[in-house]
Amino acid sequence: MRNSLFKKLLSGPYIFWIVGFTVLPLLVIAYYAFTQNGQFTLANITAITQYAHWKALAISLVLALLCTFVCLLISFPLALVLRNLSLAKGHLARGRNNMIVMLFILPMWINFLLRSYAWQMILSRNGLLNGFLSLLHLPKLHIYNTPWAILLGMIYDFLPFMILPVYNAMIKIDQDVINAAYDLGATKQTTLRKIIFPLSLPGIISGITMVFVPSISEFAIANLLGGGKILLIGNIIEQEFSEGNNWNLGSGLSLILMIFIIISMLFTAKYDKNGEGGTLL
Amino acid sequence: MANKLIELCGISKSYGSNQILDDMNLYFNENRFLTLLGPSGCGKTTTLRIMAGFETPDTGKVLFDGVDITNMPPNKRPLNTVFQKYALFTHMNIAENIAFGLKIKNKSKAYIDDKIKYALKLVNLDGYEKRMPDSLSGGQQQRIAIARAIVNEPKVLLLDEPLGALDLKLRQSMQYELIRLKNELGITFVYVTHDQEEALTMSDTIVVMNQGYIQQIGTPEDIYNEPENAFVADFIGESNIISSTMVEDKLVNILGTNFKCVDVGFGQNRPVDVVIRPEDIELLSPEKGIITGRVTSVLFKGVHYEMEVMANGREWLVHSTVMKNVSDEVGLYVDPFNIQIMNKPESEDEEAVKIDA
Amino acid sequence: MKRFIKQFYVGLIFFFLYVPIAVLFVLSFNDSLSRVHWGGFTLKWYTELVENAPLMDALVNTLLLAVASAGIATILGLAACIGMTAMKHSSRQVLTMIAQIPMLNADVVTGIALMLLLARFMNLSFGSVLIAHITFNLPYVILNILPKLKQIGTSTYEAALDLGASPAYAFFKIVLPEIFPGVLTGFLLAFTMSLDDFSVTYFTKGPGFETLSTTIYGELRKGIKPQMYALSTLMFLVVLLILFIINRQSVKEERKIKQQKKKHSLSRTALCLMLFLLPVTLSGCGKQKENYQNEITVFNYSEYIDPEVLEIFEEETGIHVNYEEFATNEAMYAKLSSDAVSYDLLGPSDYMIEKLMKEGRLQKIDKSKIPNLKNLKKNCLESCESFDPGNEYAVPEFWGTLGLLYNTKMISETEVSSWDCLFDEKNKGNIIMSNDMRNSIGIALKKLGYSINSSNPKEIKEATDLLIRQKPLVQAYLTDETRDELVAENAAIGVIYSGEAYLAMEYNEDLAYSVPEEGSNVWFDCFVMPKDAPNKEGALKFLNFMLREDIASMNFEYVYYTTPNQAVIDSQPDDIKYDDCIFPTDEMVSRGEPFTYLGAKGEKLYSESWKRLKSR
């Protein structure tokens, strides 16, 4: 098959690229992880058992799971409502659909740090939120510099990555399939549970991956909104690289983190029948 | 008269400025094969969706066995739908698809298994329980969609252009299957299609619709032989529709020549539309015809020849088993009984016709 | 009612997504350099935008980088996806797995790994940043295109071949239009990722190349300049406007040609965006690199040199300055370790200078070539000897103290004369500590009466335990934001550098600065010369120039940190000359101790103690 060979060759530059700029750097990291002063060691890997490290990993895991869960909790009903909005007269209004997609991407075009700064101003002790609450004679909220603020920041930052795939999976469900369920006697809840949810599962799965992976390695939000009082595993890695000057330890912990991420991806791949990983859109 | 199973009273529906149905009235009885026929956009699918409960009419009522079900959600209605694109649940296997409605009704497992077997047998797909919908052909998927609906033992099965996506051969065999199914189940089928041949083959009652109005209701024979207006005549089968003048009772002037006919009561010198089916025109030798013309084209169609004959300044479509050659001079003869006279419509928005089905 | 709830819900989520942007929008009209201080309404940040050449350069660089990296990644990824469809399932799966690796790693790790690799065979410049961005953009492209390709299958493509189309024609006319939405979203996401990246850009860029992200991080120390808010707001509004126009048109068109094949309105969105970006991008490409025979490369703390000063230097000497900034000593060290760029001058702090010295990375400075050294304050040079004996390597740039910024309405002056106030239960929740481990551990050591440079494990454990006990009292550990928090009166006391404190007091007159009696850190940021400096002569000229009275004075007025230049100090009016925040008294300096290098062991000890504190 000459044609197929030619097609395969098209992947050439890409394969060259990922070997050169993805696999090789990964080997550099692995080299640092398994050595200390040029000698082979496993110490950087086993370092995860130290209290500070595994606690950070545990907190990161919990926060990432919570963040993923809340994002899903917000996105699923939102996608449902948006689906109804874009299905004008039973067919997809393409313009409106694109508009919705862009409206979720657009906030990301403002620099992350600027947006986080804006959140600081909203959440801080004398910030906008508390100003608003005291106007209403409500008690002030003290979530700034707490894990809740980190969680909020993460949800804010990663929410579009959940909304988009879930919405896109849902928009693909034929309205008649849903009608068929009603027609067969299913209530709205049953239809949601047995038809809409399973059919949007591919989107949900890729949403989970897209949110969980970056949130477990997150560190900047913890510094900006958590008041630096909590160490996430991302903070530790970042600190080893940029402050502690111990790249070996940083690399070792990175590898551990990657293992966790790969496990989570394998878990999601199990539910992804196409085996093509997540489809964002 | 038997009791009315479903009755639509004064149904109107519009999307924005687009009026889909206007004051529609229709009813039908048990054990019928009723077809809603019309071009796309005529409101037939909307009518079906209103019966199923996916749409709520702006005005009017839907009665089922005399009970108002206008605002009853689809999941409570005792009727089931077969969708145009099957709408199978792709994440469930065939057995799960079929069992869906039964499980919701909390039927016993034995009952459900029994029903699945029965339904699959009915649609000639025994042993497909564990297959996934994606692995079936279009015709098979369609039959599963039917099986999924009928296990719920609905009084009425609504079918929305169910054969539209199938190829000709498959469509034809499915037509026979549907007729067989209807007879075995003894329930009413409401069938939506834009394919007049399909309608003529399967139905016992056809409702011809156009632009939100019912144009004619009748048996396939009625609709074919006695179209109420030019639209029906044109839409059902091929025909020559000619603007003519009713000279007096039983005499019509078509393109300058007087033809005998059997219709009375149109008044004198009234403009009318005349419908003549191509197979009702006999080709004779020139001197025997009412008018004479010249053959301009001949096509062999298997059972007959399709010819166009130029006569009185018009191309006449003729189906005949007798072959003529192009440029042959022929005489055209039409039996008075086969000339169908229709009033010219006053406007497009002609009043809906109310006829007992 | 139900409908209302649904709409309310959608509204709420959009509100959540857009409320921070609304805040930035408001800030862009704030006539004050501090984000927590409302100085009245102004449009000047918008009018100043165009004149702000570095910012415009950064904008052009950012857009150029985003368009190019997203574009190349899209082409590479598209070709790869087509190839992958022809592959066996298993090899395709391996490739998709590998494709996602850049998404998995923390940015810093990806950034440093790429820097180490790229520095081996190319100069760190636009090219290296581009490669890095393409690398992390690829997964987003692949993940969007591959499923679309799989979805359409091969039949339409084969049909086109059957009709006599060449493979290329069939691809562009049949396959591409079908998968276009996926290609486009992939491109848009890649564009977005590139736009927002800081870490990878920082490590893979070279001197003289700034993007909006790196500019923003550089401005953190002094507070982000409001022009940045104006620029962001403007960019956002332009894109939003384009979107709305396109949406209106496509809705109209959809009404008109209901059944006809619709053009991808998304593609037109992109086209318009490109048209909007193109002139900007082209102007970037068209910009000619000026040719200098003579140039020096300087790597300095962010916001430490008035850009005008550099221009004057270039005019006077004809030597071009490649200027690059860093935010922390450690970030500078990481960059330096890659040996990717040969710098002529670095501007690190005391302990880092000692570290570089001990690692043999620095060379002695030929003092005879810098006559203006005479302008330097005597006791300042003496203090520098603690890390640079004999003043052989370092030429002080700015210096200052570490102290307490406090709100006089909330806490008394007597209290802040001791570090004890930071450990007092009564101030619970009103304390902001430093997020720099040496500062915070140093303070604890001082309070316990030890040296700020202790590397005695017992003393450090004691200090760490003290900090752990203190942690419940602390509102936050911050660095750059301490100033804003105190100006906004979100806290009563904060650990802060003297220069920042001065800025804060400008915005809130209730604030005051104190250096506790137990003594504190005195810090020095100095110029040093790496061993392999390519233009030693130029660098020495630059040093002499920087010490000239008029130049040092200009720079002082730009930075408002303590200058070591005696001539400048003497020329200041009394209220500044005797402000002990800007110019610490000799007594304050004598109580202070500069940081020294602790050695690899000491560094590790501190790092572990810091983690112990933070993980409580």
Could you tell me the residue ranges of all domains in chain C?
A: 54-224, 295-398+525-574, 399-523+599-614
The least confident of B185-189, C142-146, C453-457 is C142-146
User: Which of A184, A200, A272 should we substitute to test contact with B (largest number of B Cβ atoms within 10 Å)?
Assistant: A184
Check B53 against A182: CB less than 8 A apart.
yes
Is the fold of C295-398+525-574 the same as that of C399-523+599-614?
yes
Nearest Cα of chain A lies from the Cα of B43 at a distance, in angstroms, of 14
Chain A 53-92, residues with CB within 8 Å of chain C CB atoms = 53, 55-56, 74, 77-78, 81-82, 84-85
Dihedral pair phi/psi, residue A127, rounded to 5°: -80, -175
- CB-based contact (8 Å) between C2 and chain A? no
Say which of A117, A126, A144 has its CB closest to residue C489: A126
pLDDT on residue C364: 94
Domains and CATH numbers, chain A: 49-271 (1.10.3720.10)
User: Which of B14, B50, B75, B102 should we substitute to test contact with A (largest number of A Cβ atoms within 10 Å)?
Assistant: B75
Is it the case that residue B284 has pLDDT exceeding 60?
yes
Is beta strand C493-497 parallel, antiparallel or unpaired with respect to C431-434? Answer: parallel
Check B74 against A183: CB less than 8 A apart.
yes
Helix (H, G, I), strand (E, B) or coil at C493: strand
Q: Is CATH 3.40.50.360 the right assignment for the domain spanning C54-224?
A: no
Is beta strand B79-82 parallel, antiparallel or unpaired with respect to B156-160? Answer: parallel
Is it the case that residue A194 has pLDDT exceeding 60?
yes
Q: Which two tokens stand for residue C189?
A: 């996401």
Band of the pLDDT at B207, cuts 50, 70, 90?
Answer: very high
Check A280 against C21: CB less than 8 A apart.
no
Chain B residues whose CB is inside 8 A of the A190 CB are: 104
pLDDT digits (tens, 9 = 90+) for C329-357: 888 888 888 787 889 999 999 999 999 99
Closest CA relative to residue C370, chosen from C529, C531, C542: C542
pTM (global) more than 0.90: no
When the pLDDT of each residue in chain C is averaged and rounded to a whole number, the result is: 85
Using alpha carbons, list the distances in angstroms from residue B59 to B22, B65, C256, C292. Answer: 9, 20, 28, 83
Rama region for A4: left / alpha / beta (φ>0; ψ in -120 to 50; rest): alpha
What percent of chain C stands above pLDDT 90?
Answer: 39
CA–CA dist B151, B322 (Å, integer): 51
Average pLDDT, integer, range C516-530: 93
Percent of chain B that is helix, strand, coil (3-state, to 5): 30, 35, 40
Neighbours of chain A (3+ CB pairs under 8 A): B, C
* AA identity, residue B144: I
Check B104 against A186: CB less than 8 A apart.
yes
Average pLDDT, integer, range C389-402: 92
Angle at C139 between CA A113 and CA A168, to 5 degrees: 85
Helix (H, G, I), strand (E, B) or coil at B58: coil
pLDDT digits (tens, 9 = 90+) for B48-102: 989 988 888 999 999 998 889 998 888 888 889 998 888 889 888 999 999 998 9
Neighbours of chain C (3+ CB pairs under 8 A): A
Tell me whether residue B30 is exposed, middle or buried, using C-beta atoms within 10 angstroms of its C-beta: 0 to 12, 13 to 18, 19 or more: middle
Say which of A84, A228, A251 has its CB closest to residue C476: A228
Average pLDDT, integer, range B105-113: 92
Nearest Cα of chain B lies from the Cα of A187 at a distance, in angstroms, of 6
pLDDT on residue C262: 44
pLDDT on residue C251: 66
- CB-based contact (8 Å) between A256 and chain C? no
Nearest Cα of chain C lies from the Cα of A158 at a distance, in angstroms, of 11
Chain A residues whose CB is inside 8 A of the C606 CB are: 244
Check C167 against A106: CB less than 8 A apart.
no
Band of the pLDDT at B346, cuts 50, 70, 90?
Answer: low
Residue listed under structure tokens 């279009």: B138
Nearest Cα of chain A lies from the Cα of C1 at a distance, in angstroms, of 14
- CB-based contact (8 Å) between C185 and chain A? yes
Nearest Cα of chain A lies from the Cα of C189 at a distance, in angstroms, of 8
| CATH assignment, C399-523+599-614 | 3.40.190.10
Chain C 475-534, residues with CB within 8 Å of chain A CB atoms = 475-478, 481, 484-485, 488-491
First CA to last CA distance, chain B: 10
User: Which of B81, B85, B98, B112 should we substitute to test contact with A (largest number of A Cβ atoms within 10 Å)?
Assistant: B81
Band of the pLDDT at A274, cuts 50, 70, 90?
Answer: very low
Check A14 against C76: CB less than 8 A apart.
yes
Q: Cα C252 to chain center, whole Å?
A: 44
- In b/e form, how buried is each residue of C125-139, taking b as 16+ CB within 10 angstroms? bbebbbbbbbbbbbb
Helix (H, G, I), strand (E, B) or coil at C524: strand
Report the 10 Å Cβ neighbour count for C509.
8
Average pLDDT, integer, range B282-293: 89
pLDDT on residue C20: 93
Edge-to-edge order in the sheet of strand B6-15: B18-28, B6-15, B59-64, B67-68
* AA identity, residue A268: T
Chain C 586-615, residues with CB within 8 Å of chain A CB atoms = 603-604, 606-608, 610-612, 614-615
Check A179 against B52: CB less than 8 A apart.
yes
pLDDT on residue C210: 87
Q: Give the ipTM of the model, two decimals please.
A: 0.88
Is beta strand B281-284 parallel, antiparallel or unpaired with respect to C345-346? Answer: unpaired
When the pLDDT of each residue in chain B is averaged and rounded to a whole number, the result is: 86
- CB-based contact (8 Å) between A99 and chain C? yes
- Chain C nearest-CA residue for A210: C103
Is it the case that residue C178 has pLDDT exceeding 90?
no
Is beta strand B33-37 parallel, antiparallel or unpaired with respect to B205-210? Answer: parallel
Band of the pLDDT at A59, cuts 50, 70, 90?
Answer: very high
pLDDT digits (tens, 9 = 90+) for B234-259: 888 888 888 888 888 889 999 888 99
Nearest Cα of chain B lies from the Cα of A3 at a distance, in angstroms, of 28
The partner residues of C295 in beta bridges, in order of sequence, read C320
Closest CA relative to residue A123, chosen from A144, A103, A140: A144
Q: Which two tokens stand for residue A131?
A: 């100003």
Contact (Cβ atoms closer than 8 angstroms) between residue C537 and residue C256 = no
The least confident of A7-21, C146-160, C170-184 is C146-160
Is it the case that residue B191 has pLDDT exceeding 90?
yes
Q: Report DSSP state, residue C565.
A: B
HEC assignment per residue over A88-150: ECCEECHHHHHHHHHHHHHHHHCCHHHHHHHHHHHHCCCCHHHHHHHHCCCCCCCCCCCHHHH
Q: Which two tokens stand for residue A75?
A: 């996105």
Check A177 against B74: CB less than 8 A apart.
no
pLDDT digits (tens, 9 = 90+) for A118-173: 998 899 888 889 888 988 988 888 888 889 999 999 999 999 889 888 888 888 88
Chain B residues whose CB is inside 8 A of the A182 CB are: 53-54, 73-75
Is it the case that residue C73 has pLDDT exceeding 90?
yes
pLDDT on residue B135: 87
Q: Which one of 2.60.120.650, 3.40.190.10, 3.30.565.10, 3.40.1160.10 gives the CATH number of domain C295-398+525-574? A: 3.40.190.10
Check A183 against B149: CB less than 8 A apart.
yes
CA–CA dist B265, B263 (Å, integer): 7
- CB-based contact (8 Å) between A131 and chain C? no
CA–CA dist C201, C198 (Å, integer): 5
Nearest Cα of chain A lies from the Cα of C538 at a distance, in angstroms, of 30
CA–CA dist B225, B232 (Å, integer): 10
Check A180 against B54: CB less than 8 A apart.
no
Of residues C272 and B23, more confidence is placed in B23
User: Which of B13, B18, B54, B97 should we substitute to test contact with A (largest number of A Cβ atoms within 10 Å)?
Assistant: B54
Longest dimension (CA), chain C: 91
Nearest Cα of chain C lies from the Cα of A242 at a distance, in angstroms, of 5
pLDDT digits (tens, 9 = 90+) for C404-445: 999 999 999 899 999 999 999 999 999 999 988 899 999 999
pLDDT on residue C288: 45
pLDDT digits (tens, 9 = 90+) for C5-44: 888 998 999 999 999 999 999 989 988 888 888 888 988 8
Nearest Cα of chain B lies from the Cα of A224 at a distance, in angstroms, of 43
CA–CA dist C133, C332 (Å, integer): 21
Check B87 against A198: CB less than 8 A apart.
no
CA–CA dist C446, C442 (Å, integer): 6
CA–CA dist C522, B175 (Å, integer): 94
Q: Which two tokens stand for residue C261?
A: 């094949």
Q: Report DSSP state, residue C562.
A: B
The H or E element spanning position C240 is helix C226-256
Chain A residues whose CB is inside 8 A of the B80 CB are: 183-184
